[in-house]
Chain A
Amino acid sequence: MRGAFLGLVRHELRLALRQGSDTGIVLGFFVLAVVLFPFGVGPEPALLSRIGAGIIWVAALLAALLSLDRLYASDFEDGGLDLLALSGLPLELVALAKGASHWLTTGLPLTILSPLLALLVDIEPGRIPLLVLSLLVGTPALSLIGSLAAALVLGARRQGVLLSLLVLPLYVPPLVFGAAASGTVAGARSDLLLLGALSLGAFALAPWAAAAGLRQALQ
């Protein structure tokens, strides 16, 4: 079963690398979205520095949303979901593998890119490690919740729009604690712990709900 799980993750990563564009588009969107904010709110360093962490978090979760609608849709359309359902791997683990590969191709690259963007919005260098840490701890929740929502809207009309409507409210808690954790050095610890709790909660619950959504879609 472990072999099948790792095999599926490897397959998803290979597909993402081979198609290449998806991760590139997500990262490009992330950078552009962050760069747009100074044009909107004005290039005042003090203001940017104060809201910078929030900007980066909002941009990161919008970027994570961008690649979600294809997570199951291509398997659903080409019949691959039938094969996944009949494999030795329970659908819960299929959903977990999908969530993990989504994180490896979006959450992780976003986290790695974030220090560069932190410089752009003038976040103090001392707070950059906190920002990176908060993204590292929080982005798994984004991928897991996203995998759940993508499974739920499978087969619906206008999936992409429906997905945003479903996912964005669910992204509020990670956003609140993520932005708070990277906002000030003083209170960061408790926010980071809560953010970690969200990720762990999503890890425990989202695959079950996603599997139920996939079963529904198969019928």
Chain B
Amino acid sequence: MSEPELLAENLACRRGERLVFSGLSFRLEAGGALLVRGPNGSGKSSLLRLVATLIPAADGRLLWGGVPVESDLSRYRQSLHYVGHQDALKAALSPRETLALAASLRGVRQPGAALERALEAFALDAVADWPNRWLSAGQRRRLALCRLFVAPAPLWLLDEPFSSLDPDNQRRLENALEAHREEGGRVILTTHLERAVAGARGIELGSGAAE
């Protein structure tokens, strides 16, 4: 079976009265990466939330494997990981418990091995049983990114994933993105680090036209 591709046709996003962007079309095939660029407030996060089906599109359609995503929303949601600009961590829980919840929400039955793998992905095993409130901003970001590894999903939507990361961890994330794409995964991300995603296509918001 060929890997499904993501196709956006004429997407428009409206927040309140304001039309954030419109007429946005792109295609993302296996192994592809899309780098969303644009000034603050141009709708980069809105685009990611729209592709994640968290907000409805004002116009246009989103197709996953040739099928509109609304026709099988739960299947589409199971094939994506969304890491927003918020880390969604509870101060009283530990990283291990945080990832255990993420795993059970993704329907992983025996999360043991997956949890260890996820914690190792960003070298958080040393702090795995600390309460989250002790983590630094960079560690919190890494923990949010660890959710990508508790269950496999072909489509990653990452909102400023490199923010607060030190150079070592930026490299870890770059490698993770590369490995994900080599396995046929797809990535849409917003970042100011251009070098981070080799061979990514750019999409410029504000002008509303894909390259």
Q: Are A80 and B97 in contact (CB under 8 A)?
A: no
> Which one of B27-35, B77-85, B177-185, B195-203 is at the interface?
B77-85
Q: Which of B53, B87, B102, B147 is in CB contact (< 8 Å) with A78?
A: B87
A11 vs B96: C-alpha distance in the bound complex, in angstroms? Answer: 12
Q: Are A8 and B101 in contact (CB under 8 A)?
A: yes
Tell me the smallest distance from the CB of A140 to a CB of chain B, in Å.
24
Q: Are A83 and B107 in contact (CB under 8 A)?
A: no
Q: Is B93 an interface residue (CB 8 A)?
A: yes
Interface contacts (Cβ under 8 Å), in number, total 80
Q: Is A42 an interface residue (CB 8 A)?
A: no
Q: Is B56 an interface residue (CB 8 A)?
A: yes
For A6, A18, A79, the residue with the greatest tally of chain B CB atoms inside 10 Å of its CB is A79
B136 to chain A: which residues have CB within 8 Å? none
| Known A-B contacts A4-B105, A88-B105, A219-B56; A82 and B78 likewise in contact (beta carbons under 8 Å) | no
Main secondary structure of the interface of B (DSSP, over half): loop
Q: Which of B41-74 contact A (CB under 8 A)?
A: 49, 52-56, 74
Ranked nearest first, the 10 interchain pairs of A and B with the lowest CB-CB distance are A7-B104, A79-B86, A87-B105, A79-B88, A18-B92, A80-B88, A11-B101, A88-B107, A86-B77, A78-B88
Q: A3-B109, A8-B104, A86-B82 are in contact. List 11 more A-B contacts (CB 8 A).
A: A7-B104, A7-B105, A11-B97, A11-B100, A18-B92, A19-B92, A78-B90, A79-B86, A82-B86, A86-B52, A219-B56
- Chain A positions within 8 Å of B, measured between CB atoms, are 1, 3-4, 6-8, 11, 14-15, 18-19, 74-75, 78-80, 82-90, 218-219
